[in-house]
Amino acid sequence: MAKHALMSPSSAERWMCCPGSVPLTQNLPDESSPFAAEGSCAHEVAARCLEENQSASIFIGRRFHDIVVTAEMAEHVDAYTQAVRDYRQHPSDELLIEVALPIEVITGEADARGTADAVVLSFGKQEVSVIDLKYGRGVRVQAEQNLQLIIYALAVLALYGVIADWQTVRLVIVQPRAGGVSEWVIAVGELEAYANQLRLAAERVRQALSDGPTHFLNPGEKACRWCRAKAICPALSAQVLKDVESIPETTPTTEIAHLLPRLGLIEDWCRALRAEAERRLIAGISVPGFKLVEGKKGPRAWDDPTQVESLLKSMRLKAAEMYDQ
């Protein structure tokens, strides 16, 4: 099995902004979450539907990645597969599903690959469409300047550049649970500027890998949001503490307005730190001054466990935070 790329397309927003995140996250456990499992399940069903030209409804009740396919998931997957089929407009168009693309030409990482959900090669229009399914509903992802899809597009052009004179690239994100379809069309020539930025960022990641992360950390809400190193990152904790300490005793309205955009990062850090403390305590590692105590059991019971589960999922908690196992 191909090893996971250090500079993966899906984490490009992070390593472009914060090259030090690559060495800092390199050896951290990749804890799965219910959302990741749900996304993997939806992707698997979607790929099968496209390969077999089926509706996702035939998979209802079946289990993939430990998640049971529901009627709701089938409906969302069908919305995605229909969108993919719509982009394949001409019989000569070629559809590639779950295609593993070599990305070494962009990141310089030997043998690294990224898997695009769907690619349509439209020979008549001389256009490449890269289509991505996002199953999350918490954060709406836009196609415009999306680095993950730009890397896939550059990899497709490098791989299939000789079979046609490609003129345009269409990047498409289908996010059925958060806004539907987002699309961005760009001329092939204009992609080169993005390729150069990505190559420069990859070079900085290589420096961070050889020199250590310290001088390559760059906290910010976009970079840190999905970073697994949030709880242990010295640059993020320093940034949060600096922001908090800068709050004046009396807070004029202008200061509140200035602080509000920074709260997301502070809240993300607090959640990550609490989860890490709990993880260590559960693993038997001492956190001085803290211990786990069993809460009082009340007489209450859930009326509808499925509704509770979906509410907790919408709060983007980790499996360990959601379930008492």
In the complex, the residues that contact ligand SF4 under the rule CB under 6 A are 14, 18, 20-21, 24, 217-219, 223-224, 227, 229-230, 233, 235-236
User: Least distance to ligand SF4 from the beta carbon of 28, Å?
Assistant: 10
Placement of tokens 């995140």 in the chain: 21
**CA dist list (Å): 153 to 105, 132, 277:** 12, 11, 40
Instruction: Between 175 and 218, name the residue whose CB sits nearer to ligand SF4.
Output: 218
User: Least distance to ligand SF4 from the beta carbon of 226, Å?
Assistant: 9
User: Least distance to ligand SF4 from the beta carbon of 232, Å?
Assistant: 8
User: Least distance to ligand SF4 from the beta carbon of 20, Å?
Assistant: 6
Instruction: Between 47 and 227, name the residue whose CB sits nearer to ligand SF4.
Output: 227
Instruction: Between 113 and 318, name the residue whose CB sits nearer to ligand SF4.
Output: 318
User: Least distance to ligand SF4 from the beta carbon of 193, Å?
Assistant: 24
Instruction: Between 280 and 313, name the residue whose CB sits nearer to ligand SF4.
Output: 280
Dihedral sign for Cα 151, 154, 159, 163, please. positive
**Separation between Cα atoms, residue 106 and residue 86, nearest integer Å:** 29
User: Least distance to ligand SF4 from the beta carbon of 145, Å?
Assistant: 19
Instruction: Between 22 and 156, name the residue whose CB sits nearer to ligand SF4.
Output: 22
Instruction: Between 116 and 272, name the residue whose CB sits nearer to ligand SF4.
Output: 272
Instruction: Between 16 and 151, name the residue whose CB sits nearer to ligand SF4.
Output: 16
Instruction: Between 170 and 318, name the residue whose CB sits nearer to ligand SF4.
Output: 318
Half-sphere exposure of 319 (CA within 13 A, CB side): 11
Q: 214-220 long-range CB contacts below 8 Å, 24 or more apart?
A: 214/20, 215/20, 216/18, 216/19, 216/20, 216/23, 217/18, 217/20, 217/21, 217/24, 218/17, 218/18, 218/19, 218/20, 219/18, 219/265, 220/17, 220/18, 220/265
**Strands lying side by side in the sheet with 180-187:** 94-102, 113-122, 127-133, 168-175, 180-187
Question: DSSP state, 131?
Answer: E
The phi and psi torsions of 249 (rounded to 5 degrees) equal: -65, -45
User: Least distance to ligand SF4 from the beta carbon of 275, Å?
Assistant: 14
User: Least distance to ligand SF4 from the beta carbon of 229, Å?
Assistant: 4
Q: What is the residue-wise DSSP string for 193-261? A: HHHHHHHHHHHHHHHHHHH-SGGG----HHHHTT-TTGGG-HHHHHHHHHHHHT--SS--HHHHHHHGG
